[in-house]
Amino acid sequence: MNIPDEEIDRLFRAANPATASLDGLNAQAISVRESIIRGTYGPARERQGWAWGRFAVAVAAIVAIVIVATNVLAPTQQAVALTPPPLQYDNPQPLSTVVQKANERLESTVSVVQERRVSSLVWGWSIDLAKERVESVPQRITFDWAPETGSRSTIIAGDPYWPDGVRPEGIDESPYEPGETITKLVTAPEEMKIPVDVMNLNDGSGESMDKALTSLGATATSSSGEVLVVIGRLLSYWTLTNEQHSILIDRLVAAGGVTVLGESTDRLGRDVIGLRVTDPKTDYQDTVLLSNDTGRIVGMENELTAAQDFIPVGVIGYTLWDVE
């Protein structure tokens, strides 16, 4: 199967695609796009596929603590789909204090080597329009790439949230066994369309980081929500150093409109600080998670604030990094 380069780009972002590309997409459009990613797209099969919300829209679902929810909808029914509960936050500190502490931890903790390999845990929606069904599937995504050899992506099913014997009525089990390979995709070097400034990001200078972010869509007037989208894109290509994470945090805060939600525990049980970003042009509410131990950006969460088609409001996706 020959997958268009644009779809490969979306698949490996594991984070928000550009806001403009999603505004106005309905469930039908999302389903067709994600069926291409899954490898089921065709004249007779184009109505089946993945749709995982704005946040992990290109790659799917979650891991370990995921809710596996299925709801069969009749034309007159409303969607009643289970979503992960929003994280709870407390003890909010001033933004300047949070940034200072994050930078101190980034300087004092063990350094991380930059590499063209990203391992993430993701959650989001799977939509089957033909059966009018919404469900979620836990997934772990590993993406390796190099200019000389191309890229390889592996998507593995994770453990469902509901164990056997306690699954609530109306909740179907995951179609995949934990550890089962859902998809493997290989892209030849000449088919990759990674921006040059992203591909050549080989140092931690502010200039190189700015070039990479700009090539992915950031501008001087981007809102903090838009900057977060671009950061998610960059983190889907590279595992970055502590120094580079410090630059990303500073760039996000400089965009303005960042609010400290407070301390919490992420979906993997890690201590984090939640920062809410601003993007008034969308119906989404985005949060970035900073590790309370390392200061690194270790996750992003996305909530839908206005229902779309039969996708209800609530947490519709999250991506977690530094999971190895």
Per-residue pLDDT of the chain (324 residues; tens, 9 = 90+): 344 444 444 443 433 333 333 333 344 444 444 443 333 333 332 222 222 233 333 333 222 222 222 222 323 333 344 567 889 999 999 999 999 999 999 999 999 999 999 999 988 666 555 665 555 666 889 999 999 999 999 989 877 665 566 665 555 666 778 888 988 889 999 988 899 999 999 888 999 999 999 999 999 999 999 999 999 999 999 999 999 999 999 999 999 999 999 999 998 999 999 999 998 888 888 999 999 999 999 999 988 888 876 667 888 888 999 997
What is the SS3 assignment for 233? helix
* Number of Cα atoms under 13 Å in the Cβ half of residue 259: 11
* Strand blocks (E) in the chain: 48-50, 71-72, 117-123, 126-128, 133-135, 139-146, 150-157, 181-187, 259-265, 271-276, 284-291, 297-304, 314-320
Angstrom distance (rounded) from CA 136 to CA 124? 6
Sheet with 314-320, edge to edge strand ranges:
181-187, 150-157, 139-146, 117-123, 314-320, 297-304, 284-291, 271-276, 259-265
Range of the domain at 233: 5-111+118-320
Q: How many domains are contained in the chain?
A: 1
| Ramachandran bin of 178, using left for φ above 0, alpha for ψ from -120 to 50, beta for the remaining angles | beta
Q: Write out pLDDT tens, residues 93-150.
A: 999 999 999 999 999 999 999 999 999 998 866 655 566 555 566 688 999 999 999 9
Rg (CA), the chain: 19
